[in-house]
Amino acid sequence: MIEALSRRMAVRMKEIHPNHPISTEVLAFALGSIINIFGTIVVSLALAAVLGQLKETALAMLAFASLRAISGGRHLKTSVSCMLVTSAGANLIPMAATSIPFSKSSIILMTVSSMALAAVFATRKIERQTRIPKRYFPLLRVLSVLLIASNFIFLNPIIAISHFIQSVLLIRRGGESR
């Protein structure tokens, strides 16, 4: 659905500006990315407003997205599935954090586990997903671990859960590159 919409928009833009150097495919991809990100934020925060957890959901989204931006991770097959799964997760994380009594030691354990997973799996098999040169991947891995470690300052269960889920999503089988 998002792919079809972004494709129609790109075709229409190329009809209006046929001599523009950007191809329809590149334009459709960029528009799809923008629609996906904007749609995820809108759906997540709208649901959060209904559930009365706007700040908590925003924190979950920020923690997850900031780690994902520097560590890489698994991709879903369609933009709509990505938007729906991310929106659901961003709202389920605060629910879990408030309904399950997380002790200080369980937050530390989740944080340490996330750091270990990121140290091993961050930036693996992301060559086709990023334009960042491969020589920077070790630095991104270190930054991923440091970002996760920042939760030792806050000891926030929402951040710990968000980072843990993203760290688990870094694990990929053999040749899987999605």
* pLDDT confidence of residue 127: 86
Find all residues with CB under 8 Å of 26, minimum gap 6, and list them.
none
Question: Both tokens of residue 106?
Answer: 């369980």
If you ran DSSP here, which 8-state letter would residue 132 be given?
Answer: S
Averaged pLDDT for residues 76-87: 94
Query: pLDDT digit string (tens) for 18-28?
Result: 999 999 999 99
* Reported confidence tier of residue 178, pLDDT bands at 50, 70, 90: low
* pLDDT confidence of residue 149: 98
Distance CA 124, CA 101 (A): 33
Averaged pLDDT for residues 63-78: 94
Residue pair 68/85 in contact by the 8 Å Cβ criterion? no
Domain coordinates of the chain in residue numbers?
2-168
* pLDDT confidence of residue 125: 85
pTM for the structure as a whole: 0.92
Query: pLDDT digit string (tens) for 108-144?
Result: 999 999 999 999 999 998 888 888 999 999 999 999 9
Distance CA 120, CA 2 (A): 33
* pLDDT confidence of residue 12: 96
* Reported confidence tier of residue 11, pLDDT bands at 50, 70, 90: very high
Say whether pLDDT at 176 is over 80. no
Distance CA 167, CA 57 (A): 18
Averaged pLDDT for residues 54-81: 95
